[in-house]
Amino acid sequence: MKKLFDLKAAGTNVRTEIIAGVTTFATMAYILVIQSSWMAAAGMNGTGVMLATALVSAIATIAMGVYAKSPFALAPGMGTNAILAFTLVQQNICTWQQGLGLVFISGTVFVILSIWKVREKVVELIPKVLKVGVGASVGAFLIRLSLVNGNMISVSGSSYALNLDFSDPAVTLAWIGLAITLILYFLRIRINGKTYHVRGSLLISIIIITVIGLCMGVVKAPDSIITNNAFSSLGDVVFKLDIIGALKPSLFVFILMFFMSDFFSTLGTALGVAGKAGMLDKDGNLPTIGRIFLVDSCATVVGAVCGLTTVTTYVESASGVEAGGRTGLTAIVTAVCFLLSMLFAPLFLMVPNAATAPALILIGISMMQTLKDVDFKSVEWFPVGLMLIVSIFGGIANGIALGLVSYCISRYARYLFTDSRAKCPNILTLVITILCCLQFLA
């Protein structure tokens, strides 16, 4: 493994990579519950969806580790699952089988663009200042998502409020968990002139918080830790997609929505997490981005065949990077955890959001460090700031889109109306900006 993943050159070791992989899985295991629950609301077999989620996520993450040699994990993305279940199906726009057909079509387009390296060219056309700042945008989005999922912020319509209702055990557990996570993460012990920190502090904190949740009654111990009599349910979701039915003209807008959203979400996650890991080159590019895109697109196609919505690179991969993961071995370990979850699903599903939210909040804050490379004395900071703010409430894809728009407007305005002859975005960058804004029309 040291030779295959060149651990020494990456400044890591097998032990660190294993801890990082398990940590990544612990922070994203919630998708097993959410994906199965939401797809069940669309009329699918929930157990079959959960098993398919674990299986496809494992296969895709192994491919990411072996082929792209990157510490990123993949699973069905949040967003497209909600659109399919609560918009397309529940509003009688199409059946869930046709919805999977839409995902398959958008994924196929992804594969073609990845093989032709069109997606790589798009990355090169995005201004460096935005590629550097996207890490902070991903971090900000992760913080907001974690605060909401952990019930630390209550949401009422479009308003957000700090939730300090300690009469609710789940809220109490989340705040206690944040304190425990902070203590373990920043704890330093000095012995004989050497300073030691807690290895795997994020994973340890998740385990401790889950145990405390059991004692508080927030977490319920499963009757059995073994998945029993469930594998036959895979047959209810695999190969059930309806590609022909998805080709109706009225559904084209949703293909565009799936395509644009996943394109820029994956882009933002890959660049953001890679920036945190120090994997970007001097121009803010990720050398392995082509392989990452190809794995990501193929995973979407396979996922649709197996009954899943768009499979994408997960922002929670940042937790593994924060734990020291730097190579594809981290991804392999995460994939093994997904495979084990098929056998021990009740054990993995008992981890509450209150246990994972504090770790993800800490990771999101640490990702804000990428802003140190932004020149705040220059007008270029404005597009980064706008991208960050929009990403918090509107998602990473929308943040990148408006960041590009504001970048182009500010550059052209400076060129046309000031003495400063700033370099204008080239025509291809302008085209990419317009294309990524099509998601707003969808």
Q: What is the DSSP string of 250-290?
A: GGHHHHHHHHHHHHHHHHHHHHHHHHHHT---TTS--TTHH
pLDDT in tens, the chain (442 residues): 777 888 988 889 999 999 999 999 988 888 887 888 789 889 999 889 999 999 999 999 999 999 999 999 999 987 688 778 877 898 898 999 999 999 999 999 989 988 988 877 777 777 878 877 877 887 888 888 889 888 999 887 767 889 999 999 999 999 999 999 999 989 998 888 888 878 778 888 989 999 999 999 999 888 888 877 778 889 999 999 999 999 988 788 678 668 766 777 788 788 888 887 888 887 778 888 899 999 999 999 999 999 999 999 998 898 899 889 999 999 999 999 999 999 887 887 788 888 888 988 888 888 787 787 787 776 778 899 998 998 888 877 678 788 889 988 888 888 777 766 567 787 878 887 887 776 666 5
Interatomic CA distance for residues 194 and 203, integer angstroms? 24
Distance separating alpha carbons of residues 175 and 385, to the nearest angstrom: 29
User: Token digits for 289?
Assistant: 């981005």
| The two structure tokens encoding residue 309 | 């919505």
* DSSP 8-state code for residue 425: P
At 313 the three-state DSSP class reads: strand
Global confidence as pTM: 0.76
Contacts of 298 (CB under 8 A, 6+ apart): 60, 63, 107, 111
- DSSP state at residue 426: P
Look at the block and give the residue holding tokens 């550097």. Answer: 132
Which of 69, 103, 75 lies closest to 89 in space, CA to CA? 103
The domain spans of the chain are: 2-441
Q: What angle do CA 293, 296, 302 make, to 5 degrees?
A: 140
Strands 311-313, 74-76: pairing kind: antiparallel
